[in-house]
Amino acid sequence: MRSAKLMLAVVSIAASASLVACGSSSSSDGASETAATSAAAAKGAEKAVKTGKTGKVSANNAPENELVAALHAAGVPNADRWAREVIEYRPYAADDTKLTSLRKNLAKHKPGEKTMSKIISALTVP
């Protein structure tokens, strides 16, 4: 079941990357960055599925594509956005194992209790 969810996440990321890349008729930097981020996330999710490494990732050190893959694997909707938010509020204190500071910052964006729990479940602070 978990493998099926991961494959669905990989396909979703790849489809998003294709839509963003194809749907952009202009050469704006934002669309290019989004396509590149989605493509990198797809590669990260695919690598996670292949290697079986789909557990928690470092909130402080994981690159964006690994964060996106971990959030997708945890069932977080709009994982790209939430990965960017995790990165924005770095660094997190090593003794903040419950990621309280991240929770407070994410709460500003009203992710909902279920989404917040899924985000936190995918992260660790080494």
Q: Can you read off the two tokens belonging to residue 40?
A: 């990198």
- Alpha-carbon distance 40 to 6, whole Å? 16
User: How many C-beta atoms lie closer than 10 Å to residue 39's C-beta?
Assistant: 18
Tokens at 93, concatenated: 């204190």
In the structure, what pLDDT confidence band is assigned to residue 22 with cuts at 50, 70 and 90? Answer: very low
Tokens of 32: 């290019």
Average pLDDT over residues 42-68: 72
pLDDT band at 73 (very low <50, low <70, confident <90, very high): very high
Q: What is the DSSP letter of 57?
A: E
pLDDT greater than 60 at residue 105: yes
